[in-house]
Amino acid sequence: MILDTAKSTLLAPFELEGAKLEQVFGTLAARRVDYADLYFQYSRSEGWSLEEGIVKSGSFNIEQGVGVRAVSGEKTAFAYSDEISFSALQDAAKATRAIAAAGQARVVKAGSRQLPVQLYAAIDPIASLASEHKVALLEKLERKCRARDPRITQVMASLGGEYEVVLIARADGHLAADVRPLVRLSVQVIAEANGRRESGSAGGGGRTDYAHFTDEVLDQYAEQAVSQALVNLDARPAPAGTMAVVLGPGWPGILLHEAVGHGLEGDFNRKGSSAFSGRLGQRVAAPGVTVVDDGTLPGRRGSLTVDDEGTPSRRNVLIEDGVLRGYMQDSLNARLMKMPLTGNARRESFAHLTMPRMTNTYMLAGPHDPQEIIRSVKKGLYATNFGGGQVDITNGKFVFSAAEAYLIENGRVTHPVKGATLIGNGPDALTRVSMIGNDLALDTGIGTCGKEGQSVPVGVGQPTLRIDALTVGGTAA
């Protein structure tokens, strides 16, 4: 049914039956190549934002086009067109075949065909709710936030939805398709008291429609955003120094995503630029640390029925009990590294090249009760939410700012602190994980990952973790 939907959306209106696609691949094959594909995409997206009780902006966008790619050795030729037609495809194919084959191209044997499992309904979120009800949803969220505390002076909320149909035709004859819904709701609040202003934020979503945002979900978002802002109103300057750090479950997995996940993507390891290059089978983390990238979680923001090369998504164990087991791959890097495909080929749109990217990346749970972990810390930091961060994947060094954090003193969480930054090295930090909680949680569905100018939706997660001797940058004297 998904393939029929994609064909009727992306091929039939432009009279692109199979014979014409074969002609395009014939044009591409004028020079021998290792891999070639056509990536057709149609998408509709919308965005609504509310501020000061009124809708400040709204947007609606329709996009369609096709990307044509040929790969020979390490070289990639790519052209795209926002017109889907046989002549446009042929023009793009002629431009693409200008690739110069380096030596004799290898013959790539097609792997066994695994049928993809549909992970989300083929629905159009934009059509799932009338425009006036979308505005009412934002207004309701604003009211819930303001009703929680009189110190909330501003509420900014945004709602977005996307309906995307993709079809991938490969030179080996494989045809794959996906219909990808996506929704997200975000809220930010400002609290003021005694001349001080602090903010809090929350949100979520997934590959579903707007029915996801029930009253219960809105209550959760309002509670989290308001609570964070009020906690920060009372926060003291964060201490600085080397100390034990406890990371909360769920969204703090963004540190794992950035500090470790990118370093496990195949392209960086093939080029030898990752701190994990050449370390397969070696211990790279403390015993008990198992990290997976799983694109098969139903309805999750980072999940994909098939990746952007038509490979079904998989659950890939990257680090198992502290030992490096694998990298995330697309076809180019898997072929050059002589490793299997992992279903991690992703692209922002038909106008972008495919790269190995994360889907839903998280650490598995361990044996410890979260309260036991906190009780084990004499003096340290408990970080439950993160803002921005920066990572250098060549050496794994990271800097992350904590959006919500507390001091731990004598095994108890005491007062909140503001201005805390975590400074460290991803591979080194993994070796310093001394306790892993039994409370694995995934984020609520807000993650977007950037790489080489491309943004794609992702998921993160982890249980409560204790990391020994991490550097905390603070503002306290």
Query: What's the whole-model pTM score?
Result: 0.93
Strands ordered across the beta sheet of 323-324? 323-324, 315-320, 291-294, 360-363, 459-462, 441-442
Q: Within 13 Å of residue 38, how many CA atoms lie on the same side as its CB?
A: 33
**Residue percentage of the chain with pLDDT more than 90:** 82
Check if the beta carbon of residue 317 is closer than 8 Å to that of residue 342: no
User: Other CB atoms closer than 10 Å to residue 68's CB: what's the count?
Assistant: 28
User: Other CB atoms closer than 10 Å to residue 61's CB: what's the count?
Assistant: 10
| Summary mean pLDDT of the chain | 92
CA separation for the pair 133, 139 (Å, rounded): 10
CA separation for the pair 329, 318 (Å, rounded): 11
| pLDDT higher than 60, residue 111 | no
Residue with tokens 């093939």: 270
| pLDDT higher than 60, residue 148 | yes
Q: Within 13 Å of residue 225, how many CA atoms lie on the same side as its CB?
A: 33
What is the pLDDT, as a whole number, of residue 392? Answer: 85
What is the pLDDT, as a whole number, of residue 474? Answer: 81
What is the pLDDT, as a whole number, of residue 476? Answer: 62
CA separation for the pair 129, 375 (Å, rounded): 47
For residue range 180-225, list pLDDT tens digits in order. Answer: 999 999 999 999 999 999 999 999 999 999 999 999 999 999 999 9
Q: What is the DSSP letter of 13?
A: G
pLDDT greater at residue 103 or residue 278: 278
Q: Helix, strand or coil for residue 177?
A: strand
For residue range 242-264, list pLDDT tens digits in order. Answer: 999 999 999 999 988 988 999 99
- Helix (H) / strand (E) element for 88: namely helix 86-96
**Residue percentage of the chain with pLDDT more than 70:** 95
Check if the beta carbon of residue 125 is closer than 8 Å to that of residue 163: yes
For residue range 84-100, list pLDDT tens digits in order. Answer: 999 999 998 888 876 53
| pLDDT higher than 70, residue 333 | yes
Check if the beta carbon of residue 189 is closer than 8 Å to that of residue 200: yes
What is the pLDDT, as a whole number, of residue 114? Answer: 61
User: Other CB atoms closer than 10 Å to residue 212's CB: what's the count?
Assistant: 18
pLDDT greater at residue 395 or residue 134: 134
Concatenated DSSP letters of 107-154: PPPP---PPPPP-S----GGGGS-HHHHHHHHHHHHHHHHHH-TTEEE
What is the pLDDT, as a whole number, of residue 388? Answer: 74
What is the pLDDT, as a whole number, of residue 391? Answer: 82
For residue range 4-21, list pLDDT tens digits in order. Answer: 999 999 999 999 988 999
| R_g of the chain computed on alpha carbons | 24
CA separation for the pair 367, 124 (Å, rounded): 41
Q: What is the DSSP letter of 12?
A: G
What is the pLDDT, as a whole number, of residue 101? Answer: 39
Check if the beta carbon of residue 346 is closer than 8 Å to that of residue 303: no
CA separation for the pair 21, 46 (Å, rounded): 32
Pairing of strands 75-81, 345-346: unpaired
Q: What are phi and psi of 21, to 5 degrees?
A: -65, -40
Closest by CA to 122, choosing from 301, 299, 295, 297, is 299
For residue range 334-354, list pLDDT tens digits in order. Answer: 999 999 999 999 999 999 999
